[in-house]
Amino acid sequence: MSLVPSGEMTLGPFFPREFAQGANDLSAGAKGEVIEVTGRITQLDGKPLDNLVVEIWQADSQGRLDAADFFGWGRAATDANGVYRFRTIKPGAIEGRAPHINFLLLYSGLMRHLQTVMFFEAAKDPVLDAVPANRREALIAKREGAVYRFDIRLRGDGETPFFDD
Amino acid sequence: MPHFSLAKRDPATQSEGVVPGYAQTSQRWPSQPLVKRPQTKSELTGPANLARRLGAVRGDLAGHGEKRALGQLIHIRARVVDEDGAPVPGAVVEAWHCNASGRYKHPNDTDHAPLDPNFYGAARLVAGDSGLVELRTIKPGAYPVPDAAGWWRPPHVHFSVWGRVWLSRLVTQMFFPGEPLNEADVILNAIRDPQARNRCIATLMPTTKGPQNALVYDYQIVVRGRGASPKL
């Protein structure tokens, strides 16, 4: 049998708040360096976006995916200033990949979800290398102590690269 | 077991980009082309037991007796399958919709349609071995889109679904058959292929007198991917 995937559609403006809450701390009980990953999400006119849903997927500190003692998935929503916030563990390198966190964005005005990736430094990586060289900088978080800042611009100057899968 | 694989999206059956009549898309969809990337273990895995973190919340939004919500009683039977038609056991499905008068119980919904004290429009369901999730609820109403002249959303139910891997994530909306507003809805009609569009509309099953006596709607949710879950 061969079925066509269902048509993806926008999240709309009324995603239940309870679903976006309580899932942005991945660090509880996990081994490794605890970090905060945060950033501001803006649209073409520079306006910060409120209640945009951000989901992440990452490896544990040893580079293992879906490890028994680390649940590498999380979800947060932006506040009125467009800011999302995760508390997590700095991921290790998965074989063949530089350390990174996968991001998925859901919002009204996005006909379907957008995917991007946050890197910790400009390292050799097949996904980062797929991005035109002059746009790679936008995928590298800015470090301030234990805080990694990863701002996302959906459209316009300094636009974040998004991936087609 | 066949190797897990995931085909690229077909632009005829998937919508994207800036859509005429939906103003926010021109502020939010990227102006640069999406970047093609290799698929690695990182994108082809996902939380194997998401229900451990996101468990079932409310399977009945219609209520009973004096707590019964206003509106037509409906019973949605949605089956989560992959592109092989194989069920996705344990799939987590979030569902949300407005009440019978077209109002969401959400602080961002400023419409003047009344709230229903007996209706809370959000549920989380976990599929069994056959991929089936069931939701007893009431049929949502239609409502006008603010600041969009003449655009009314037809009755619809939002679904957020996790497939086998990170790239199988699906957020969609289920529509009802025979609704005149379906013909002009900007979101439904952004899917160009008419057959793909029809698959977003549920099927009303023959009515029978049963213990529930609700209108039963069948619906199929197809998440991306074929073959077994990849080994880590």
Tell me the C-alpha distance between A20 and A14, whole Å.
11
| Inter-chain CB proximity A126 and B6 less than 8 Å | no
Inside any domain, residue B16: no
Nearest Cα to Cα of residue A131 among A115, A155, A143: A115
Q: Can you tell me whether residue B197 is helix, strand or coil? A: helix
Residue-wise pLDDT tens digits, A51-109: 999 999 999 999 999 998 899 999 999 999 999 999 999 999 999 999 999 999 999 99
Structure tokens at B220: 């199929």
What residues of chain A, 15 to 74, have a C-beta less than 8 Å from chain B? 15-19, 23, 43-45, 47, 49, 51, 55, 57, 59, 64-66, 71-73
Q: Which residues of A13-32 are buried (b: 16+ CB within 10 A; e: fewer)?
A: bbbbeebbeebbebbeebee
Tell me the C-alpha distance between B40 and A57, whole Å.
13
According to DSSP, residue A14 is labeled T
Is this structure's pTM higher than 0.80?
Answer: yes
Residue-wise pLDDT tens digits, B11-61: 999 999 999 999 999 999 999 999 999 999 999 999 988 998 899 999 899
Nearest Cα to Cα of residue B101 among B161, B133, B141: B141
Residue-wise pLDDT tens digits, A8-19: 999 999 999 999
Neighboring chain A residues of B57 at a CB cutoff of 8 Å: 18
Inside any domain, residue B115: yes
Neighboring chain A residues of B28 at a CB cutoff of 8 Å: 43-44, 49, 107, 109-110, 154-155
Tell me the C-alpha distance between B103 and B121, whole Å.
10
Domain of residue B126, CATH code: 2.60.130.10
What residues of chain B, 128 to 157, have a C-beta less than 8 Å from chain A? none
Inside any domain, residue B20: no
Nearest CA distance, B216 vs chain A (angstrom): 20
Place of tokens 């939380």: B47
Tell me the C-alpha distance between B200 and B155, whole Å.
12
Residue B52 annotated as catalytic: no
Domains identified in chain A and CATH numbers? 18-153 (2.60.130.10)
pLDDT of residue B230: 59
Nearest neighbour of A113 by CB, restricted to B13, B50, B171: B171
Is the pLDDT score of B115 beyond 60? Answer: yes
CA dihedral B26, B29, B32, B37 (to 10 degrees): -170
**DSSP secondary structure, B118-166, as one string:** T---EEEEE--TT-EEEEEEEPPPPEEPTTSTT-EEPSEEEEEE--SSG
Inside any domain, residue B8: no
Instruction: Report which secondary-structure segment, H or E, holds A86.
Output: strand A83-89
Tell me the C-alpha distance between A104 and B117, whole Å.
34
pLDDT of residue A1: 77
Inside any domain, residue B40: no
What residues of chain B, 181 to 220, have a C-beta less than 8 Å from chain A? 187-188, 190-191, 196-197, 199-200, 220
Task: Confirm if A116 and A3 have CB atoms less than 8 A apart.
Answer: no
Inside any domain, residue B185: yes
Structure tokens at B11: 């632009």
Tell me the C-alpha distance between B113 and B143, whole Å.
9
Burial class (CB in 10 A: 0-12, 13-18, 19+), A162: buried
| Domain encompassing residue B151 | 25-30+52-222
SS3 content of chain B, % helix, strand, coil (to 5): 10, 25, 60
Identify the band that residue A45 occupies on the pLDDT scale cut at 50, 70 and 90: very high
Q: Is B60 on the interface with A (CB under 8 A)?
A: no
Count of domains forming chain B:
1
Is the pLDDT score of B1 beyond 50? Answer: no
